[in-house]
Amino acid sequence: MKKITLLICTLPFLTACATSPLGRSQLTLMSDAEVNTMGIQAFTELKQKQPTSNNKVDNDFVNCVASALLKQVGGDWEVVVFEDKTLNAFALPGNKIGVHTGLVSLVDNADQLAAVIGHEIGHVQAHHGNERMSQEMAVQQSLAITQAIFAPTSALGQTAMSALGLGAQYGVVLPYSRLHESEADIIGLNLMAQAGFDPRQSVNLWVKMGQASEGQAPPEFMSTHPASTTRIKDLEKNMPKALQTQQAAMVAGKKPVCIK
């Protein structure tokens, strides 16, 4: 009875909820100030370890695209181009954006880069960092409770813990990460359209990304990112609205000119 009560008493721990920009309920156990501090610290350490690009053309290109997007978001942001051949960009809580030179080389135009940077900004806007850490905290709490209930020294307890550990990894943590990626795709699509970029280039971008990683990506159910075909299908589903948004932005005079 005590063990059952222990399980029930943990339910309030799992009710610290927020709502994402797309209306989804979220588990957030940390304050924005805490998460922002962690993001700023991580970015500072990264700048100390990772060389930054001195290429003026690349820096001007990235900052032009980021600036157009960030005008729709507001706030003070720091944008850094890192000398790294990998196809990557990221945004951290605390308004920090990093773009790798490998990604700059891959994209054909500003619209494609806007799709990636808009996606990364979407993660910050949706508080995915907070949610991700909160999920990890909740999983660890659940595993500790299960360990107490199933007496892990027994054969049954060991089996139960192994099964739940695997289930927690593929049933909770990774799918939520794929959900974050899909959500950031749509937020980024809308954001790039609001800034006047062509949202159709987001599809072209993910086709290129899929081709670049062909044969290297893990199966979707074991990946933290949706398969390229899945995210392209979701983007195309939301494209009509994004095109209407872009048209309204262009009528309002938003026509970014960023030269690669």
When pLDDT is cut at 50, 70 and 90, the band that residue 174 belongs to is low
Is a pLDDT exceeding 90 seen at residue 22?
no
Q: What is the rounded average pLDDT for all residues in the chain?
A: 83
C-alpha distances (whole Å) from 241 to each of 70, 194, 198, 200 are: 20, 11, 12, 11
Section 211-221 average pLDDT: 65
When pLDDT is cut at 50, 70 and 90, the band that residue 169 belongs to is low
Please report, for the chain, the start and end positions of each structural domain, with discontinuous segments joined by +: 2-251
**By mean pLDDT, which of 20-29, 72-81, 160-169, 177-186 is the weakest?**
160-169
Backbone phi and psi for residue 185, each to the nearest 5 degrees, phi listed first: -60, -45
For the chain, strand residue ranges (E) read 17-19, 25-27, 78-82, 89-92, 96-100
| Rounded distance between C-alpha atoms, residue 166 and residue 169, angstroms | 5
**By mean pLDDT, which of 17-26, 61-70, 176-185 is the weakest?**
17-26
pLDDT tens, residue by residue, 25-43: 877 777 888 888 989 999 9
Is a pLDDT exceeding 80 seen at residue 201?
yes
Is a pLDDT exceeding 50 seen at residue 7?
no
Which are the catalytic amino acids?
A: 120
Instruction: Please tell me the predicted confidence (pLDDT) of residue 10.
Output: 44
When pLDDT is cut at 50, 70 and 90, the band that residue 132 belongs to is confident
Instruction: Please tell me the predicted confidence (pLDDT) of residue 162.
Output: 67
CB proximity list for 134: less than 8 A, separation 6 or greater: 16, 27, 28, 29, 30
Top-confidence range, 39-43, 112-116, 125-129, 142-146: 112-116
CB proximity list for 1: less than 8 A, separation 6 or greater: none
Instruction: Please tell me the predicted confidence (pLDDT) of residue 4.
Output: 34
When pLDDT is cut at 50, 70 and 90, the band that residue 251 belongs to is very high
**By mean pLDDT, which of 44-58, 146-160, 208-222, 243-257 is the weakest?**
146-160
How many other CB atoms sit within 10 Å of the CB of residue 124?
26
- Are 100 and 50 spatial neighbours (Cβ–Cβ below 8 Å)? no
Beta bridge partners of 78: 96
Is a pLDDT exceeding 50 seen at residue 8?
no
| Rounded distance between C-alpha atoms, residue 108 and residue 260, angstroms | 8
Q: Decide: residue 223, CB within 10 A, 0-12 exposed, 13-18 middle, 19+ buried.
A: middle
- Are 16 and 134 spatial neighbours (Cβ–Cβ below 8 Å)? yes
- Are 187 and 241 spatial neighbours (Cβ–Cβ below 8 Å)? no
When pLDDT is cut at 50, 70 and 90, the band that residue 173 belongs to is low
Query: Of 91 and 130, which is predicted with more confidence?
Result: 91
Query: Which H or E run contains 125?
Result: helix 110-125
Length of the chain: 260
154: Cα within 13 Å, side-chain hemisphere: 8
